[in-house]
Amino acid sequence: MQHRTKMKAMGSVLAVAALLLSGCSSSDDAAAPAENNFPADSTMAKIAAKGKLVVGTAYDTPLFSVKDPTTGEIKGFDADFSRLVAEKLTGSADNIEWIETSGENRMPFIESGKVDIVIKTFTITAERDERIDFVGPYYLVGQDMLVRKDYTTVTKVEDLNDPAIKVCDGTGTVTSENIRKKAPNANITEVDDTNLCVEGVKDGRFDVYVDDDAYLGGVVALTPDEIKLVGAPFTQEGLGWGIGNNDTVFQTWLSDLLKTAIEDGTWAKYYDTSIGSVLGTEPQVPTVGVIP
């Protein structure tokens, strides 16, 4: 997929990241919270000065970001990276204000400054990149289909072209657009809360729920006797972190942090303790700045 995006120019700015990151060679290094370590008036300096990182994320995305109902702690792959960013900017991984974020409000939250960053299974697209900046990809996904355990009608995305097959999808995503490229007559219902898709598949209101395969794998792991993955991904997409538009300095700093995390094994550690622990598959390690 070709993108006219600021992401394509990222390689030209990564060279200056060493100067901006200074103390960020390892995820285990102690982070210096003093804003004077960052360029004056940069987003990094402003976050360091206020002493907290405001992160937009989901509270109900298995393996990526889930809020523990007992402790209130956010856990998962996205949560781990959020804490890494907070540590490097403020000196502590605990200096985070979490803002629950959905597919519909994540762009407005970034544009209004309600959050400093969105780390929430956020697919990088050229259209979105016109309004915000992306860092990544930090994870590669393919869209797949979730069905009831005994359902065999759908084996590939083209089968969804039958309007009699009821498909569920989340509002504010690119999923419906991707489905219609392969199945233009698909009967798709979009809902704000994708938990309704899962429950709808279980009780027969929907036949198929389409979403990212890693996320769906986590959903299936919760009730494997009731639902399953078709196992026929039909896209390859990059997930990115969303930040304010035209914030090249912050984008560069975050890009080099992510690149370092991939190179020093931090990315693999986060994967193994979240996504990998359920899927049991070898990850497709992304290349920062290269969009599928």
pLDDT tens digit sequence for 167-183: 999 987 889 999 999 99
Q: Phi-psi bin for 73: left (phi > 0), alpha (psi -120 to 50), beta?
A: beta
Q: Which ranges in the chain are annotated with CATH 3.40.190.10? A: 6-140+238-279, 143-229
What does the pLDDT read at residue 49?
95
Question: What is the 3-state composition of the chain as percent helix, strand, coil, each rounded to the nearest 5?
Answer: 40, 20, 40
* pLDDT of 247 strictly over 60: yes
What does the pLDDT read at residue 197?
97
What does the pLDDT read at residue 279?
79
Q: Are 243 and 117 in contact (CB under 8 A)?
A: yes
* pLDDT of 75 strictly over 70: yes
* pLDDT of 22 strictly over 50: no
What does the pLDDT read at residue 31?
41
* pLDDT of 10 strictly over 90: no
CA distances to 9, 11, 165, 262, 267 from 27, in Å: 26, 22, 47, 10, 10
Per-residue exposure over 129-148, b if at least 16 CB sit within 10 Å of its own CB, e if not: beebbbbbbbbbbebbbbbb
Q: What's the average model confidence in pLDDT over 152-163?
A: 97
SS3 134: strand
Domain 143-229 carries which CATH code? 3.40.190.10
> In the CATH scheme, what architecture does the domain 6-140+238-279 have?
3-Layer(aba) Sandwich (3.40)
Give the highest mean pLDDT range of 28-32, 114-118, 213-217, 218-222. Answer: 114-118
Q: What's the average model confidence in pLDDT over 98-113?
A: 96
Task: Tell me which of 27-36, 147-156, 223-232, 258-267 is least confident.
Answer: 27-36
List the beta bridge partners of residue 53.
96
Give the highest mean pLDDT range of 21-35, 44-58, 276-290. Answer: 44-58
* pLDDT of 185 strictly over 50: yes
Residue type, 89: L
Q: Are 38 and 20 in contact (CB under 8 A)?
A: yes
Q: What is the pTM of this model?
A: 0.77
